[in-house]
Structure 1
Amino acid sequence: MAKEFTFNPAQQSSNTASKIVAALERLSEAFRVLMWQEAKQHGISSTIQVQLLTFLLHYPKEQKTITYLAEHFNLTKATISDAVKTLEQKGYLKREVIPNDTRSHSLVLTKQGKSLAAKVEQFAQPMQKTIANIPSAQQAYLLEQLMEIIYDLNCNDVINVQHMCFNCNYYEQKSRGHYCQFVKKNLKAADLRVECPEFLLAEA
């Protein structure tokens, strides 16, 4: 059996899976370009700093730790710590001691940091507008398929556990589709969440 080369155009012509992988790679490149353009515009030296600012603007306090951020972004604590240190030196965030755990700190955006975060997260708008032009039913199907891919990558230890429906203890796959024990109702594909505040890791 001939060896497969995903990015070989000749192979892609007859291999749909390879074409999908190549398309996803192009999309990841688009995200990198958009983040880097936004970073340069605001004097930020790395795209991970853009991601950290966006995360800290929206997520709950208990998740704003270096340990959690490293897991969420699939990066080392050292990489996250370096980015945090830079943002801290620029006055965009500060550390607050977590009660009953003096060894850990919660990362909190300053007023200046919140203002910058609200600006830099606009990097995703071109992608958002493009997706919004897809019919709703196709958006729902695309969401479901992308979550299946993410879940499979997680199961194969390519990425860390994501706080989405398929990894959640409240989630069930039923004959009629998706079901959430937390809200006690069936879920349509469009109802599935990539990041859920009520997430509880499913038991192994």
Structure 2
Amino acid sequence: MGKVSTFSPAQQAENTTSKVVAALERLSEAFRVLLWQEATRYGLSPIQIQVLTFLLHYPEEKRTVTSLASYFNMTKATISDAVKSLEQKNYLTRKPSATDTRSHTLHLVKEGKAIARKVEKFAQPLEETLATVSEKEQGGLLEQLMQLIYQLNQQEVINTQPMCFNCQFYTVKRGHYCNLIKTSLKPADLRVDCSQFELREEEA
């Protein structure tokens, strides 16, 4: 007899791991629902909303099709289609890279920034729900989720993320420690996306 599916209610009743996987699936569904609701409201696709939000907050050197594809674990073709559509909607423009003439950086125009600030609020229901949980509990949850993301990075299920556990400055010294700022980190201090991130050499 083959292994019982983790999505079987009978399996979940007896297996905590299956219940956690099922709970994570429910959360991913909530994220998708919120994205689709916002996308429908503004005549965009979910990935277009994610691209707009990314371009609103990340520095110019990361605002490329290649960086977006890596960040969202999608093909360059998929990202290019989303970018082309946003270009046609007059939300962004391309500019030749100063360091690579074969590459372009993406820039939101005034209208693009305005719509990006509206659609990025799609995650507010999740934020409001988490706000009811204590900071200590949030920190513990963050730590566990980052461990899970790290393991998925190691298994090459998703691309390596610019977070503490993958960074050359991160180490464990009776807890989490950052060698860049020479400071111990509480779970709530850990970063999923750090602007000072440098990939650990053995993972580069």
Partner of 1:84: 83
User: Which runs of at least 4 in structure 1 moved beyond 6 Å after TM superposition?
Assistant: none
Q: CA RMSD in A?
A: 0.9
Partner of 1:93: 92
- Provide the rounded CA distance (Å) in 2 between the counterparts of 1:127 and 1:100: 39
Using the size of structure 2 for normalisation, the TM-score is 0.97
State percent identity of aligned pairs: 62
Q: For residue 73 of structure 1, what is the amino acid of its counterpart?
A: F
Deviation at 1:4, TM superposition (A): 3.0
Residue 17 in structure 1 maps to residue 17 in structure 2:
yes
- Provide the rounded CA distance (Å) in 1 between the counterparts of 2:62 and 2:2: 47
Q: For residue 50 of structure 1, what is the amino acid of its counterpart?
A: I
Q: 1:199 is matched with which residue: 181, 197, 200?
A: 197
Residue 26 in structure 1 maps to residue 18 in structure 2:
no
- Provide the rounded CA distance (Å) in 2 between the counterparts of 1:100 and 1:23: 45
Which ranges in structure 1 are unaligned for 5 or more consecutive residues? none
Using the size of structure 1 for normalisation, the TM-score is 0.97
Partner of 2:107: 108
Deviation at 1:102, TM superposition (A): 1.0
Q: Give the paired residue count.
A: 202
* Cα distance per residue 1:92-125 (max 9 Å; x no partner): 0000111131100000001000000000001000
Deviation at 1:2, TM superposition (A): 5.4
Q: 2:187 is matched with which residue: 170, 189, 199?
A: 189
- Provide the rounded CA distance (Å) in 2 between the counterparts of 1:4 and 1:173: 37
Partner of 2:62: 63
Q: For residue 194 of structure 1, what is the amino acid of its counterpart?
A: V
Q: For residue 192 of structure 1, what is the amino acid of its counterpart?
A: L
- Provide the rounded CA distance (Å) in 1 between the counterparts of 2:192 and 2:27: 18
Which ranges in structure 2 are unaligned for 5 or more consecutive residues? none
Residue 39 in structure 1 maps to residue 67 in structure 2:
no
